[in-house]
Structures are given as C-alpha cells and as structure tokens.
Amino acid sequence: MATDLPLVFEAPRRGKAPRHLADLDAAGRVAAVTELGLPKFRADQLARQYYARLNADPVEMTDLPAGVRDSIGQALFPELMSPVRHISCDDGSTRKTLWRLHDGTLLESVLMRYSDRTTLCVSSQAGCGMACPFCATGQGGLDRNLSTAEIVDQVRAAARAMRDGEVGEPGRLSNIVFMGMGEPLANYKRVIDAVRRITEPPPNGLGISQRSVTVSTVGLVPAIHRLAGEGLSVRLAVSLHTPDDELRDTLVPVNNRWPVSEVLEAARAYADTTGRRVSIEYALIRDINDQPWRADLLGKKLKAALGPLVHVNLIPLNPTPGSKWDASPKPVEREFVRRVNEQGVTCTVRDTRGQEIAAACGQLAAEER
C-alpha cells in the first residue's frame, strides 16, 4: 500500500504555496480574520506579531487567546519553509541557508555581514528558467515561482536571526538583494508585492529602506519599464556580462529577445525615472568575456547610454561544478577595471563572499539534489 512506503519514495509534489499572512495586504488581512469569525483588530495584532516581532508561529503569539491560535495557525501561518541546513564561512560573517518548502522544493538564501551593513541575498523563484550557462541555478531549469510570502519569509527569518544574534553579535538586517535563485522580474507581481511588504514600516511590513533593496535582472525589458513606474526607489541591477550581442546571446540567452541596446535603453529609463544609478553586473570569465577590447566597448556603451548614472560590478566567476569556465587571472581583472574606468565609468570588483560554501547562485541546492 502506498501509505506504507517510506517518505523517501514519494515524488516531491510541486505545488503552490499555501496562503500565508505575508501574502495579504492590510485589507486582505482584515478579510481573512473576518472569515475566521474574529474581530477586525486581530488583523493588526497578527501583522504586528509577524512584521514587528518577527514571529511566524502562533504558539509564540501570547497576546492571542489560546483557543484561536490553532485556527489562526492553520489559516494564516502554515509552515512555509524549514531549514535543511545552515553553512557558515568567512569567520562566521556569511551564512547560507538551504530551505525546504512545503512541497519539497529547495531554495537558498545567504546572509552577509559587513562592517557597515548586513545584506540578505534572497531567492525569487525555485530554480530559474533563464538558462545562463555559467549559473548553477540556470542548469536545473525552473521548478516554480515563489509566493510573496515565501519571499518575505526569507527576510523575516534573517531579520530574526540577526536580532537574536544567531549570526555573530545581534544586529539589524539592513539590505536585500534579489540575487539568489530565480529571475525576479519573471515572477513580477509576487516580487513587487514582496518588495512592498519588505519595505513598508511595521505593522504593514518589515521596514527595510527601499533604497537598500536591489532587484537584479537578466534584462527583461518590458518588466524593467514597468518597474520604473511602480513608484519604488529600489536599486536596479542588470546582469549584462558582455557589451556585444554575439556573445551575450549565449551567456544570457534572453538576449536573443531583448538585445543589449534595448536593455541599456530600459536601464536608462529606470535611472531617469527613479534618479537612481543602475548597477551593471559582469561575471568575469577567463578568455570568454575578459578581453581588453570588451572592457573598452563596455565602458563606451555604458557611458553613451547612461552617462554618470551607472556603476559596474565585476564578479569573479564562481565556477559551477563540472564547468569548463573559470575566473579571470587577477592581472586581467585589474586591466579590465582600469579600461572601464578610463571610459569614465566607475567599476569595482565585488567582494566574493562564501566561495567555500558553494555560494554561487544555486550551487547548494544543486548539490542537495
């Protein structure tokens, strides 16, 4: 009988996440507590518990009558994800968490402490459909979109871990980057809702400044334009990786749909509307995209398209298992930076955290599979 089989024989169910408080806006919360037959003020109480006290388990919500904690738990606080493991490195200042979602889907988030800030790298999808050949997540394809609550809860859990001193001295989570698994702009509505929940002040959200949130994209042009119209002041990062269409068609396959020129135009529109500098991500890959002429071309194109409203982040390639590609040698990297700067475009090398814990996008989940 199937019910006698050990769990391990069950194929993972890939499904939608159950509804959670963090999926709902203020009106939705009121409707949900009313549905449960509870007075309206409970909605505000639950939001305070979740966003201000960072509690996700009704057992800890001692200001609720014991009799309703169960029904509230079932209706609004299903367990969205449980940690499979935490891995730390960089003397404990980096911690990567592998989460298992309710349907068995795996995802990762990474907490990085710096002297002046603490950044959480969050996932927006389980897997990714963009198929960039150097990225571990890209190799596995897309499992599914994350729900708003599955994104927000990664942040809540990290904010709580920081508050409680689970990752070094107690501190405050200050920055969010959508640079974990997935293409955030391919899960547009849920990501935007999550950004609102993450940035609104308690009790409606976690109170992280919009300016401290970075949304990173492969360059989905219509979605970049749409993002510019949201009235948010989040930072936009564009994963360019090369200034020419010929190579970008293979490194970032979606370039076949929206070429470099259109991506840079959209980036410009974003910068003009929001007044924020756009970050250009460039994973430097030995003998693939690290030639001096590419550095010159990158500098020229960015200068022409964005003027001073751009900054280049070079990311030394973090090789994925089995890949034939590698990071560029340091002298090549330095020359690349020098040439981009020479065109009048600022360029810095991203500090590489978490190399020894397989922190490149999606590596931990790939190993677990």
Which residues of this chain interact with ligand SAH, rule CB under 6 A? 130, 132, 134-135, 179, 183, 216-218, 239, 281, 283, 315, 317-318, 320, 360-361
DSSP letter at 327 equals: B
CB-nearer residue toward ligand SAH: 150 or 281? 281
CB within 8 A of 285, min separation 6: which ones? 134, 317, 325, 326, 327, 328
Least Å from the CB of residue 318 to ligand SAH: 4
Q: 224 by DSSP, 3-state: which?
A: helix
Least Å from the CB of residue 114 to ligand SAH: 18
Tokens representing residue 35 in the block = 């549905």
CB-nearer residue toward ligand SAH: 210 or 239? 239
Spatial contact of 220 and 186, defined as CB atoms under 8 Å apart: yes
Least Å from the CB of residue 173 to ligand SAH: 19
Task: Give 3-state DSSP helix, strand, coil % of the chain, rounded to 5.
Answer: 40, 20, 40
Q: 209 by DSSP, 3-state: which?
A: coil
Least Å from the CB of residue 360 to ligand SAH: 4
Catalytic residue among 183, 356, 361, 368: 361
Q: How many C-beta atoms lie closer than 10 Å to residue 196's C-beta?
A: 17
CB-nearer residue toward ligand SAH: 102 or 350? 350
Least Å from the CB of residue 130 to ligand SAH: 6
> Is residue 361 annotated as part of the catalytic site, yes or no?
yes
The tokens 């089989």 sit on which residue? 5
CB-nearer residue toward ligand SAH: 292 or 321? 321
Handedness of CA 166, 169, 172, 177 (dihedral sign): negative
CB-nearer residue toward ligand SAH: 58 or 180? 180
Q: How far apart are CA 45 and CA 63, in angstroms?
A: 8
Spatial contact of 103 and 78, defined as CB atoms under 8 Å apart: no
Q: 212 by DSSP, 3-state: which?
A: helix
Catalytic residue among 108, 150, 183, 281: 108
Least Å from the CB of residue 320 to ligand SAH: 5
- CA-to-CA dists, residue 256 to 84, 218, 244, 260, angstroms: 37, 12, 12, 9
CB-nearer residue toward ligand SAH: 206 or 218? 218
> Is residue 183 annotated as part of the catalytic site, yes or no?
no
Catalytically active residues are 108, 361
